[in-house]
């Protein structure tokens, strides 16, 4: 267990929230670039809310945020620390409604952010029965973004959201890790739906087609074992790219419909693509 996961249950919720919001954009710099792919209106969906760094940042960008988080105490924490335009659903997003088995580490809490409907025996030891639902059943309107961090069940989430994707063509920000699941099923499905991928290995967005994500992850897999604090604060840290931005064909990062805004406040970046 990482240091952050050990400390979080013993700290005041507001402290954890503030620390997460400060550190996470360093851990996942794409969060500082929301204006590149999230329009300033509509509904954003945060699937796998954890402690809420994406949810709270999205709430300042979208008209409405729907956050889906299956771990009960994390969902309660999100409800207590998010603004009124956020709706938190304590459930697991997948391709069917009903109940599902959520797998957690041995401590049974989910603070590490690695809970999943897909069991990894080297990580998961505790089973929790949770409600589950497809995104399509939420009947959302004007969906502009789906952020998906589900540690292995990405394909099921996407199958459960196909009608939403076909109707609204939202941007998709998906955590994909070769060490958890093969990349090709998700990439194949999104190609068939007319999406192209982009990654942010340094300062500029790069087409996924010209970036060998599998090779990159194989060579930087050791970085993935480091926790939030170490990966956020270590000087000259090497980046482990494990998230891909998917946009409908013809769109590029920076086409989010917010002309004249160079980036989220304080991020120091413009809309650079190549």
| Residue 272 domain flag | no
Q: What is the pLDDT of residues 39-48, one digit of tens each?
A: 999 999 999 9
pTM check: above 0.75: yes
CA distances from 83 to 8, 71, 145 (A): 21, 20, 18
| Residue 261 domain flag | no
Q: What is the pLDDT of residues 8-35, one digit of tens each?
A: 565 556 667 777 788 877 778 999 999 9
Mean pLDDT of the chain: 86
Give per-residue burial for 64-89: e unless 16+ CB within 10 Å, then b: bbbbbbbbeebbebbeebbeeebbbb
pLDDT at 205 over 80: yes
Q: Return the pLDDT at 220.
A: 87
- Read off the pLDDT band of 226 (50, 70, 90): low
| Residue 244 domain flag | yes
| Residue 270 domain flag | no
Instruction: Please give the residue range of the domain that contains residue 77.
Output: 3-248
CA distances from 227 to 16, 48, 172 (A): 15, 18, 25
Q: Which residues pair with 86 in a beta bridge?
A: 65
CA angle 101, 24, 18 (to 5 degrees): 95
| Residue 72 domain flag | yes
Q: Which residues pair with 103 in a beta bridge?
A: 116, 127
- Give the whole-angstrom CA distance, residue 184 versus residue 230: 30
Find the CATH number of the domain harbouring 32.
Answer: 3.40.50.150
Q: Return the pLDDT at 9.
A: 61
Contact 147, 45 (CB under 8 A): yes
CA distances from 92 to 12, 100, 111, 130 (A): 26, 8, 16, 7
Kind plus residue range of the DSSP H or E element containing 132 = strand 126-133
Beta strands in 11-106 (DSSP E): 43-47, 64-68, 86-89, 92-93, 98-104
- Read off the pLDDT band of 228 (50, 70, 90): low
Q: Return the pLDDT at 261.
A: 39
Take residue 176 and report the two structure tokens written for it: 């994909």
| Residue 264 domain flag | no
Comparing 203-212, 240-249, 254-263, which segment has the lowest mean pLDDT?
254-263
Q: Return the pLDDT at 5.
A: 52
Q: In the chain, what percentage of residues exceed pLDDT 90?
A: 66
For residues 44-70, give the mean pLDDT. Answer: 97
Maximum CA extent, the chain: 49
Q: What is the pLDDT of residues 84-130, one digit of tens each?
A: 999 999 999 999 999 999 999 887 677 777 899 988 888 888 999 99
pLDDT at 262 over 50: no
| Residue 271 domain flag | no
For residues 57-69, give the mean pLDDT. Answer: 97
| Residue 239 domain flag | yes
**What total of structural domains would you count in the chain?**
1
């Amino acid at each position: 267990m990482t240091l952050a996961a050990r400390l979080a249950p013993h700290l005041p919720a507001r402290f954890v929230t503030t620390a997460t919001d400060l550190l996470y954009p360093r851990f996942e710099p794409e969060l500082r670039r929301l204006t590149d792919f999230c329009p300033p209106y509509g509904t954003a969906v945060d699937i796998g809310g954890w402690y809420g760094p994406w949810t709270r940042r999205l709430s300042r960008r979208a008209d409405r945020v729907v956050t889906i988080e299956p771990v009960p105490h994390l969902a309660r924490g999100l409800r207590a620390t998010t603004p009124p335009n956020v709706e938190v659903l304590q459930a697991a997003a997948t391709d069917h409604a009903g109940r599902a088995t959520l797998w957690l580490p041995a401590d049974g809490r989910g603070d590490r952010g690695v809970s999943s409907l897909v069991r990894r025996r080297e990580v998961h030891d505790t089973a929790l029965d949770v409600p589950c639902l497809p995104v399509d059943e939420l009947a959302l309107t004007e969906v502009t973004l789906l952020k998906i961090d589900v540690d292995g069940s990405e394909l099921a989430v996407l199958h459960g959201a196909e009608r939403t994707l076909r109707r609204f063509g939202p941007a998709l920000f998906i955590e994909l890790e070769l060490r958890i699941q093969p990349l090709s099923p998700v990439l194949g499905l999104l190609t068939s739906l007319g999406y192209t991928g982009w990654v942010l290995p340094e300062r500029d967005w790069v087409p996924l087609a010209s970036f060998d994500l599998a090779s990159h992850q194989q060579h930087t897999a050791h970085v993935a074992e480091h926790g939030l604090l170490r990966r956020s604060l270590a000087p000259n840290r090497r980046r482990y790219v494990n998230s891909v931005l998917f946009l409908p064909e013809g769109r590029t990062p920076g086409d989010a419909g917010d002309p004249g805004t160079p980036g989220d406040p304080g991020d120091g970046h413009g809309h650079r693509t190549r």
